[in-house]
Amino acid sequence: MNNIHEECGVLGVISQGSADVAGMAYYGLYALQHRGQESCGIVVNDDGVFSSYKDLGLVSQVFSADTLSRLPRGSMAVGHVRYGTTGAANRNNCQPIEVNHQKGKMALAHNGNLSNAAELRNTLELSGAIFHTTSDTETIAYIVTRERLRTPSIEDALSAAMNTLEGAYSLVLMSAQKLICARDPHGFRPLCYGRTPDGIYVAASESCALSAIGAQFIRDLDPGEILVFGPEGVISRREHCGQREKKLCIFEYIYFARPDSVIDGVSVHGARIQAGRILARRYPAAADLVVGVPDSGLDAALGFSLESGIPYGIGLIKNKYIGRTFISPGQQARLDQVRIKLSAIEESVRGKRVVLVDDSIVRGTTSGRIVKLLREAGAREIHMRISSPPFMHPCYYGTDIDSREHLIACRHSVSETAEIIGADSLGYLPVEELPSLAGGWGYCSACFDGNYPTAIPADTRKDRFEQKLSERRR
């Protein structure tokens, strides 16, 4: 439970005939809600005619039974849940993005962050392009459209566009006749696909969305792979595969993904259990109880308990009707949400020495509040263990870790941080143990160790039109 903006979630559905693809997309997006709680949207393709609905809010808030009933049956649908790391929370930035161009229509949903977005956008603006959003998705849409005007197919256009794009992107693109999925050559963001018993194909950011729809998982897309679902069946294009070293975001295993998902052959639940076991070995504590911070700290807490032999218990209760704490703008709002969202179980923790396990510490304010909750409930000692290394560097690939000055680990030692948050001791997962979570290789840990797989962007500002004039001058 931290102050990190999380990823978006993408989903695509394609049927050989007319089907309730909007309903399937709805259930798939529900399963991906943890990846984005700012906005959501669905675009349906009914024999080449696109119908859509998207708005700010959770899936359950945006899509009522009445709203879904207004979307037609069709052969394809694309869906998206958003929590933007760039771009304001307004309806213009809701996805999927729809484009009408000389050769047809396109709807595009994107998860990730381009590291060369500012450069690409500047070039496009100077050539006359007019942007209506501040999201990277519109930049991708422009480039794909440009390439489509000089290539024989939409998949050729996407392949050509990928020669220009740098950074993180998992895409689901829908044309009049095809559904196309693509994963960037580094594979920063997850993307997989499956099939329902009646032959409907589903692509999604995580395998948990396939399960929600009743689709059987087939496989993950490889980094750089383009998968085309169309009249000729399912075609894999691999011209961009093997061009870059695989760099899946390690934080997918630590926090972003749902525990019941499997990403690139690695169980998210298993990875978090392993993180807890490592913490127990590296930073043992004389304690009576192990408590996880709901939800993303629970699996690691269980791992700590299994390895240490210290009983696992429920010490914190989450109000499941409150969104993740970082959604609120401003520090006081975040603290207020912690008070509303979590409460300590006094019976469990009073007089106990508690090991408190969470996924990360960013600024330290939320962690401090949680420690205080347990203190107020009577915990005698609190030993905090974090299932990720300390954040030391900004992320340019979709995680909202944008400034070293906001990272407590950049300004304070481990012992100082423990004192600031009110814990009796503090231990982070060592950076050198990250391979144990990711199957040994193929992950990006730049936010922890500063080893960036791509060039660091010189300009990361993408929201100048959402700033006051006085703010732009600073």
Could you read off the pLDDT of 137-187 as tens digits, one per residue? 999 999 999 999 999 999 999 999 999 999 999 999 999 999 999 999 999
Active-site residue identified among 8, 40, 192, 249: 8
- Confidence class for position 305, pLDDT limits 50, 70, 90: very high
- pLDDT greater than 90 at residue 329: no
Could you read off the pLDDT of 114-128 as tens digits, one per residue?
999 889 999 989 988
Residues counted in the chain? 474
With a pLDDT cut of 90, the percent of the chain lying above it is: 78
CA nearest neighbour of 178 among 107, 241, 109, 111? 107
C-alpha triplet 335, 361, 460: angle, nearest 5°: 95
Q: Which residues contact 241 (CB under 8 A, 6 or more apart)?
A: 185, 222, 223, 224, 225
Q: Quick one: pLDDT at residue 84?
A: 57
Mean pLDDT confidence for 334-352: 84
Sheet holding 216-220, edge to edge: 49-56, 39-46, 74-82, 9-19, 201-204, 192-195, 216-220
Could you read off the pLDDT of 49-107 as tens digits, one per residue?
999 999 999 999 999 999 999 999 999 999 999 985 544 557 888 999 999 998 999 99
What CATH superfamily is the domain 9-247?
A: Aminohydrolase, N-terminal nucleophile (Ntn) domain (3.60.20.10)
- Confidence class for position 17, pLDDT limits 50, 70, 90: very high
Mean pLDDT confidence for 366-387: 96
What does the DSSP assignment read for 147-170?
Answer: HHTTSSSHHHHHHHHHTT--B--E
208 labelled catalytic:
no
- Confidence class for position 45, pLDDT limits 50, 70, 90: very high
Mean pLDDT confidence for 367-392: 97
Could you read off the pLDDT of 391-417 as tens digits, one per residue?
999 998 987 676 788 899 999 999 999
For the domain bounded by 267-443, which CATH number is listed? 3.40.50.2020
**What rounded mean pLDDT belongs to the chain?**
91
Q: Is the backbone peptide bond immediately before 96 cis, with ω within 30 degrees of 0? A: yes
Domain boundaries, the chain: 9-247, 267-443
Check: CB of residue 38 under 8 Å from CB of residue 82. Answer: yes
CA nearest neighbour of 156 among 139, 175, 169? 175
- pLDDT greater than 70 at residue 207: yes
Q: Quick one: pLDDT at residue 406?
A: 81
User: What is the residue whose two structure tokens read 């298993």?
Assistant: 270
Phi, psi of 101 (to 5 degrees): -135, 180
Alpha carbon separation from 100 to 41, 165, 174 (Å, rounded): 18, 21, 12
Query: Measured between alpha carbons, how far apart are the two ends of the chain, in Å?
Result: 32
Q: Quick one: pLDDT at residue 7?
A: 67
- pLDDT greater than 70 at residue 473: no
